[in-house]
Amino acid sequence: MPQLYIGIMSGTSLDGIDLVLADFTSKPNLLSRCLLPFPASLQRELRSLAEPGDNEVERIGPVEYQLTECYAAGVKQLLQHANYQPELISAVGCHGQTIRHRPSQAQPFTMQLGNMHLLAALTGIRVIADFRRKDMAYGGQGAPLVPAFHQAFFARAGQNRAVVNIGGIANISLLHANGSITGYDTGPGNCLMDDWVSLHRQQPYDKDGVFSAEGKLLPRLLQQLLSDPFFQQRGPKSTGREYFHLPWLQQQLTGQEAPADVQRTLCRFTALSIANELQLPNLSEVFVCGGGVHHPVLMADLQQLLTPAKVKSSSSEGLDPDWVEAMAFAWLAQAFDQQRPGNVPAVTGARKACVLGIEYRP
């Protein structure tokens, strides 16, 4: 029987919903994919809910319903494009939309929006979701969860490799030559650059790195950003947009900086916060996935900082960089069905490896 799974990921960059149809019968095979942009009103509401505000419970209800309808529409579009019927799909692995992630509090919690009962009803397909809280119940950060998939796909015996996912937040997976794995969130990926270019250029992201390329580095600001306590912590650690957001950045500024100079500095800030965590002896290759792979200034910064390791797109290993996270949540749904652990305790800090997820039947 084919092992067909759908993965749904909508991340902290809030650029839309990534959906993939994957075949895990042998090695992971991406059969079809689609990106469903958020309606502007939903994107605004999700961005607002990612930061503390008023009357959040009343606002969550309709936002979650609309978000789930978008997930279901994306599944329908994906299956139509691939010419598959819903009954052929084993399950949908859905991450949900994170609006709060507080793993370091005395009573840690994480919250992802998405009515998974409704998603199962609308699609007619089993849904596996709520992947993070089981890990947190055993003392883990609940993030990042993608390294288990990175290990399955990218690890090579006898080689020190790394995988860097640069979405809204950046995370790394260190794939050691001896077969062990470590990893964690390194800090902002694209989120601050996206917020800044949106504020000053009314663009959703810094397309082709044009805005960054116009500016020059501001060393004082760069050091100030890197002095945040988050960067002094050792892994396991995780973070989100509720921590690194536009007001956090604006508190660091004098108001006299040229906008393009701030953008260039944010680009270097992302690169340095990643590279500082990848100073491994004999690191041979670094595979980049997520939206950051399309930012040429960021990729050039990473290559400069990580030489002699070669910085490459994950496409060099046959995996499209735009769909790695969605593939990972399809893989986690399969792991649930096979009762395989989906977390890596060395990455999240959990006391044990756990089967992750909850099943929702139509």
Q: Are residues 134 and 211 in the same domain?
A: no
Structural domain for 177, as ranges: 147-317
Give me the pLDDT at residue 149, please.
Answer: 94
DSSP assignment of 235-251 equals SS----TTTSSHHHHHT
Same domain, 295 and 309: yes
Residue 32, annotated as binding a ligand: no
Q: Is 11 annotated as a binding residue?
A: yes
Please tell me whether residues 222 and 243 are part of one structural domain: yes
What is the spatial distance between Cα 141 and Cα 351, in angstroms, rounded to a whole number?
Answer: 11
Long-range (24+ apart) CB contacts under 8 A made by 60-69 are 60/99, 60/113, 63/113, 64/113, 64/114, 64/115, 65/115, 65/118, 66/39, 66/42, 67/10, 67/42, 67/97, 67/113, 67/114, 68/114, 68/115, 68/116, 68/118, 68/119, 68/122, 69/118, 69/122
Higher pLDDT, 71 or 13: 71
229 with 356, same domain: the answer is: no
- Strand, coil or helix: what is 204? coil
262 — pLDDT class (breaks 50, 70, 90): very high
Residue 291 counted as an annotated binding residue: no
Give the tens place of pLDDT for each residue, 320-343.
999 999 999 999 999 999 999 999
CA 27 – CA 25 distance, rounded (Å): 7
Regarding pTM above 0.85, the answer is: yes
Residues 212 and 299 placed together within one structural domain of the fold:
yes
**77 touches 20 (CB < 8 A):** no
Question: What's the total number of domains in the chain?
Answer: 2
The reply to whether 12 sits in an annotated binding site is yes
Closest to 203 measured CA to CA, from 194, 215, 213: 194
Q: Is 314 a residue whose pLDDT tops 80?
A: yes
CA distance 15 to 57: 24
Mark whether 233 and 336 lie in a shared domain. Answer: no
Q: Same domain, yes or no, for 174 and 135?
A: no
Q: Are residues 259 and 132 in the same domain?
A: no
**What is residue 2's predicted lDDT score, i.e. its pLDDT?**
80
- The pLDDT confidence band at residue 293, using thresholds 50, 70 and 90, is very high
- Amino acid found at 254: T
Does one domain contain both 129 and 188?
Answer: no
**pLDDT score recorded for residue 14:** 84
Q: Is 130 annotated as a binding residue?
A: no
Say if residue 177 is in the same domain as residue 219: yes
The answer on 338 and 296 residing in a single domain is no
Residue whose structure tokens are 């395989």? 340
166 assigned to a ligand binding site = no
CATH of the domain at 117: 3.30.420.40
R_g over Cα of the chain: 19
Do both 237 and 94 map to the same domain? no
pLDDT in tens, 118-146: 999 999 999 999 999 999 999 999 999 99
